[in-house]
Structure 1
Amino acid sequence: MIISGRGSGILLHLSSLPSRFGIGDLGPAARAFVDLLAEAGQQYWQFLPLCPTSRELDNSPYMGLSAFAGNPLLISPECLVEDGLLPYDLLHEAPQFSEYLVAFDEVLPWKEEILAAAFAHFIAGHPLRSEYARFIAAESWLDDYVLFVALHEEQHGLPWYSWPSGLARRLPGALAAARQRLAQRLDYHRFVQFIFFRQWERLRRYAGERGVRLIGDLPIYLAPDSAEVWAWPQLFLLDEETMRPTHVAGVPPDYFSDLGQRWGNPLFRWDGGPEVRAVLEEWWQRRLRHQFRLTDLVRIDHFRGFESYWRVPASEPDAVRGEWVKGPGLDFFRRLEKALGPLPIIAEDLGLITPAVEELRDALGFPGMKVLQFAFDSDERNSYLPHNYAERNCVVYTGTHDNDTAVGWYFSDRSEPAAKERLLRYARSREGSPIHWDFIRLALASVAALAIIPLQDLLGFGSDCRMNIPGTDRGNWRWRVAPRFLSAELMARLRNETEFYNRLPRRDQAATEEE
């Protein structure tokens, strides 16, 4: 078990934090949010993947440009000022951005402008240059990533498999010429990554000092147009001629979609020969080692893909006509444990879960997920009902980034009236009681070792504030919280409920007893 005692926390992506610069970032608002969590007795902060996102893919953090790089949009302008890389006056020239939504088309050019200005200050001579040199020497993934991004710019955003053949197939002569031609852009993108990870380490250290543990999110799959698929094509099911995926990832028809979900990610060649499997496992070791440096725990999205995965021919328009294929299974994780030590992983085990998936999860000791929005659509044997949690080694959520908000779910026409009635009866809800607090109390009261509440549910917000609608590829990932909603009264109430259900950190419990 990777979670000791009873704890709770909040799910909020970095981009949703308050900021006057159009998108949440790693600066003062992130540290202030850590302070709020600590004051409210919360021990965990969970967020979505930190990877660079693509305008062409609607800036989805689950379709990132890299499995290793950080998202430049999350870099804090204020921290750049603190480090002497920007004049403070430049921040006054920022446009007026919405405090409720991320307008990516407006934020992206402005962030690029200030990062270019910071880079100009840096190359003119800056005390951070020695630290920068150590960073680029230590990060083995960096050269492939910066070349990929610079070529992406040069090719006007075209996916790598549409580039000239020499670049797409990574012919040495073509790559050498590109490195020479794009040398300044390569240095710029190295600098951006250096700044991201410098700011990230500062935030992680601050969270640790305040007793807040960070939960990262690791998508099992990569975007087809990503640095790693370009750099390691032999690890994926790609057509040798077109370099495009022959089969793609997804899930069959389920709760979210009658046609299933055709994600479009290329699949790993788990069934390749011994040499391919050896390289693939070594790549996964590097990926997880990198992630464990950034966060205290890692939620692996679509964990069931390690037991078996839904393989859809790339020619299919939806995910209905796929097939289940065996994944790498337990032996793969045992070898990872041997290489990396204990694996601080939360298994996302939602959807169509078989006994074989549960056996794999339990053999590894990974906590699975319980989502309360799924608890009321059947009978008393529903596995998401708190009285059916067989053991405490699990994480209970009122909802996830893929769900509607609790309030949105309750008032949605898609939610069955019988499910709403079962919720009210189960929660012993009083007339007029805010439904989101019923969900929160059920989560906190459960035996689950950890309870995670999306911030939208803590605030009691409706469907217009949900983060993502699965099966759609436009208009997601934009919600932000305005600072006035993060009130001291709200956090005091959360702390009170957290204490009542015995989820305060031990140091807070001791302080309460002394009082």
Structure 2
Amino acid sequence: SPTGYGDSPYQSFSTYAGNPLIIDIDMLFRDGWLDEEQTIPPNDIHVSSRVDFGKVVEWKIPLLKTAAQQFLSRAKPEDRVHYEAFKNDNASWLDNYAIFMSIKEVYDAKAKAENIWGAMWSNYWPKELASHDPKAVSKWHETHVIECETQKVIQFFFFTQWNALKEYANNEGISIIGDVPIFVAADSADVWANQHLFQLSNDGKLLAVAGVPPDYFSETGQLWGNPLYNWDAHKKEGYKWWLDRIKALLKMVDFVRIDHFRGFEAYWSVPAGEKTAVNGKWIPGPNHDLFMAIKNELGDIPVIAEDLGLITDAVKKLRDDFELPGMKILQFAFDTNEAGKGGFTNTFLPHTYDKNCVVYTGSHDNATMQGWLDAATKDEIQLIGEYLGFEKNDIENFAKNGKLCEGLVRLAFSSTANFAVIPLQDIFALNNEARMNLPSTIGGINWQWRMEKKHYDKEKAAWLKKLGMLYGRNIRN
């Protein structure tokens, strides 16, 4: 999805649209929509392990618009047939998205010129546009047809390339896991076009926002700031918005990881305007009702439930009643306080797993495994080493040279979990300079890491292949 505030995939302008920054410029040149010299990035955009989104956006978005306008002016009849089919197939979201983005560009530029920060549709756009008045929206479209069509063509580019990539991956026996953030961004086409489905005032202002109470990641909780759903309105419509969302994602991916699964049983509601998430309260969610609607419409879909955080018996029941696999994070497994209990029974330890789960060395919210080991106590390091069967005298050195990290990757592969997910950072035993996200923070290094060519290692690839063979994870179904 196209990222917004803080470059976060959890703050997207649309839950349906593809991120334009992923579009391959070289392929647009190959298809004839750009000249070769246009594909050369400026000197201040360097290929490194950290993406400078600001510079990339400044260069790439105008280039994509140029390519889109070239398409609109001289596409061949067969290209136009595919484009029209794409628009028809995605009209339920594409029209609103294109109009939203065209309005947003105009008023974001105006707000910037006036030195106004934090402007968005609900607090800056003209009232008739902010309220999604059909006549006003239609009039805008009539007077900004080229801008709206440009947005649609850019999405056409994205999905054409994505579908080709997915087909190639699937043919090679590779499945793709997609993430469904439970909440959407306030500054999004989703909320703007469906205001009755969210907890908003009559003028579109947030009444309460999403977050989680204090936990492992933050002493003051996490204040996400996303609008909360009006679940009564969703229920009256048969959860159509959610059904459409899941259907759209399943066209793009093979498995769906539902973020913050516990929020469907009960969600943490924080009054709008609070500085932290401390003063929130639990509010019942749709619970079984939503998932029964999904099951009735789509059958048994390939879902992974992100069941981390404060997980109650009611959340476990919701997960288990629909036989959804939960997540196991190895970084949460090694609790030295259990030593006095006569046995280690932490449910994140592999010897406690049922098969119907997915084990991760760490998620995008965790430190890298090596970064976590670097900060671990001596007792924790010893416990991990002993669990892995390493000689006591070797454990401390193994924690520093990456061997302990490799052992934990092997542990995930060898577990009984149906699936094992290993972040690239952990495969290469990279430290926290390669961390993906630090919860409760904005900017900094968040969401910037990417793998470089220098990380590719044939020996490491052979090692992974061997692990897959040893533990039966290379078998194609």
Which TM-score applies when normalising by structure 2?
Answer: 0.91
Aligned residue type for 2:31: D
What is the match of residue 382 of structure 1?
Answer: 346
% identity of equivalent residues: 41
Residue 124 of structure 1: SS of its match in structure 2? helix
What is the match of residue 419 of structure 1?
Answer: 380
Which of residues 15, 24, 29 in structure 2 aligns to 1:67? 15
Q: Deviations over 1:151-208 (max 9, x none)?
A: 1101016311021111111223321221122211101000001111111100000001
Residue 223 of structure 1: SS of its match in structure 2? coil
Q: Distance in 1 between matches of 2:443 and 2:41?
A: 30
Q: Distance in 2 between matches of 1:457 and 1:58?
A: 24
User: Does the 8 Å CA contact 2:261/2:307 hold for their aligned counterparts?
Assistant: yes
Aligned residue type for 2:70: H
Which of residues 46, 53, 62 in structure 2 aligns to 1:113? 62
User: Does the 8 Å CA contact 2:305/2:324 hold for their aligned counterparts?
Assistant: yes
Relative distance call for 1:280 and 1:335 in structure 2 (3 A) is closer
| 1:205-220 correspondence to structure 2 within 5 Å | 205-220=167-182
Q: Work out which structure has the larger RCO, using CA pairs closer than 8 Å and 6 or more positions apart in sequence.
A: 1
What is the match of residue 452 of structure 2?
Answer: 482
Residue 121 of structure 1: SS of its match in structure 2? helix
Task: Structure 2: state its 5+ residue gaps.
Answer: 110-118, 339-343
What is the match of residue 18 of structure 1?
Answer: none
After TM superposition, which residue ranges in structure 1, 4 or more long, deviate above 6 angstroms? none
Q: Distance in 1 between matches of 2:382 and 2:278?
A: 32
State the shift of 1:89 in Å.
3.2
What is the match of residue 20 of structure 1?
Answer: none
Which TM-score applies when normalising by structure 1?
Answer: 0.84
Residue 309 of structure 1: SS of its match in structure 2? strand
Q: Distance in 2 between matches of 1:280 and 1:479?
A: 40
User: Does the 8 Å CA contact 2:173/2:476 hold for their aligned counterparts?
Assistant: no
RMSD over equivalenced CA pairs, Å: 1.5
Q: Distance in 2 between matches of 1:393 and 1:93?
A: 46
State the shift of 1:81 in Å.
2.0
State the shift of 1:93 in Å.
5.2
Which of residues 495, 500, 503 in structure 1 aligns to 2:470? 500
What is the match of residue 254 of structure 1?
Answer: 215
Deviates more, 1:188-197 or 1:84-93: 84-93
Relative distance call for 1:506 and 1:134 in structure 2 (3 A) is closer
Relative distance call for 1:94 and 1:210 in structure 2 (3 A) is farther
What is the match of residue 240 of structure 2?
Answer: 282
Q: Distance in 2 between matches of 1:172 and 1:201?
A: 33
Residue 239 of structure 2: SS of its match in structure 1? helix
What is the match of residue 115 of structure 2?
Answer: none
User: Does the 8 Å CA contact 1:53/1:64 hold for their aligned counterparts?
Assistant: yes
What is the match of residue 16 of structure 1?
Answer: none
What is the match of residue 40 of structure 1?
Answer: none
Q: Distance in 2 between matches of 1:300 and 1:280?
A: 20
| 1:15-34 correspondence to structure 2 within 5 Å | none
User: Does the 8 Å CA contact 1:235/1:280 hold for their aligned counterparts?
Assistant: no
Aligned residues: 448
What is the match of residue 85 of structure 2?
Answer: 134
Structure number with higher helix proportion = 2
User: Does the 8 Å CA contact 2:69/2:150 hold for their aligned counterparts?
Assistant: no
Q: Distance in 1 between matches of 2:27 and 2:74?
A: 18
Q: Distance in 1 between matches of 2:74 and 2:266?
A: 52
Task: Structure 1: state its 5+ residue gaps.
Answer: 1-50, 508-515
User: Does the 8 Å CA contact 2:108/2:120 hold for their aligned counterparts?
Assistant: no
What is the match of residue 400 of structure 1?
Answer: 363
Q: Deviations over 1:22-48 (max 9, x none)?
A: xxxxxxxxxxxxxxxxxxxxxxxxxxx
